[in-house]
Amino acid sequence: MRKFFMFAIVVLLIIGCSPKEKGTEQKLMESLTSKEKTDSILVPEQEPKVEKPTDLTEEKVEENVIVDEASLWSSYRSAKAAVKEAESNYEKQAKCLLEAAGYAKDLQRFDIEAWQYNNAGFVLIEGFKDKTDYINVMNKLNSLKLKSEITQYRKEARILLNKEKEMLSQAISYLAQAKQIDGNLEKSSRTTTIASNITFVNDVLNFLDVEDTE
């Protein structure tokens, strides 16, 4: 009887506890499963966004190129206009022509760039001639007949011309740049013009460097 009573109590305990334990176990499993699912979700790092080229962006690039080119031409024309405004100011004219040469280079118009360097040299040649009265000095020297007069006037001429020698030294540097650029281009009238200006400057510099020994 006692054994039967103990057996009945055990059965009742099992029957009373099983649903609760089963429910608890199920919740635990669900919790574990839920945690496992959460942990298994990988959050990828955000990749940097790369803007894919579109017809619109290509149009903007082309538009910017056109605008930049137009701006460069405008700046070039302004520099050329400034040359005319600086009439008789030879150094300023040369400076404006060098600016024009820079814009021509940016436009990849190397033929125009060469011309502007030539022109910068040329205006300094003109400045030298103007400030020293070069034409009249040379005409007078060539008109003299007596050797003693020629020797004496050469000395006077050299003193006068040497006062503006720096203009020729600057001019030859610009002309050398023009020649270098022109050397990469097809020969044209520009080539002979540059060569002619270089020859003139070199002839005058040689004249100034020679000392009379007679």
Could you give the CA distance from residue 122 to residue 150 in angstroms, rounded to a whole number?
Answer: 29
Task: Classify residue 196: in a domain, yes or no.
Answer: yes
| pTM value surpassing 0.95 | no
Of 23-27, 46-50, 85-89, 188-192, give the lowest mean pLDDT range. Answer: 46-50
Residue 100 belongs to some domain of the structure: yes
Please give the residue that has the higher pLDDT: either 7 or 104.
104
Rounded-to-10 torsion of CA 189, 190, 193, 197? -170
| H or E, element range at 48 | none
Report residue 209's pLDDT band, with 50, 70 and 90 as the boundaries. very high
The predicted structure's pLDDT at residue 67: 63
What span, in angstroms and rounded, lies between the C-alpha atoms of 188 and 98? 21
Range in 34-38, 49-53, 174-178 the model is least confident about = 34-38
What confidence score (pLDDT) does residue 39 get?
A: 34
Residue 133 · residue 97 · CB < 8 Å: no
Q: What is the pLDDT of residues 117-128, one digit of tens each?
A: 999 999 999 999
What tokens does 16 get? 């009373």
- d(CA 202, CA 205) in angstroms, rounded, equals 5
> Residue 199 corresponds to which tokens in the numbers above?
């020859």
**Domain-embedded: residue 107:** yes
By 3-state DSSP, what share of the chain in percent is helix, strand and coil, each rounded to 5?
Answer: 80, 0, 20
151, 154, 159 from 213: Cα distances, Å: 9, 11, 16
76 occurs within a structural domain = yes
**What is the domain extent for residue 177?**
67-130+164-209
145-162 residues labelled b (16+ CB within 10 A) or e (exposed) = eeeeeeeebbeebbeebe
Q: What is the mean pLDDT of the chain?
A: 80
Confidence tier at 56 by pLDDT (50, 70, 90): low
pLDDT, greater one: 7 or 83: 83
Residue 53 lies in a domain: no
131 close to 162: Cβ distance less than 8 angstroms: no
Query: In this structure, are residues 79 and 96 in contact, taking their beta carbons and an 8 Å threshold?
Result: yes
Model pLDDT for residues 126-165, shown as the tens digit of each residue: 999 999 999 999 999 999 999 999 999 999 999 999 999 9
Determine the average pLDDT of the residues in 19-30: 42
Residue 89 forms part of a structural domain: yes
Task: Check residue 66 and give its pLDDT.
Answer: 72
| Contact criterion met (CB below 8 Å) for 188 and 110 | no
Classify residue 25: in a domain, yes or no.
no
Domain count for the chain:
1
Q: Indicate left, alpha or beta for 77 from its phi (over 0: left) and psi (-120 to 50: alpha).
A: alpha
Residue 120 to residue 127: CA distance in whole angstroms: 11
Domain presence at residue 190: yes
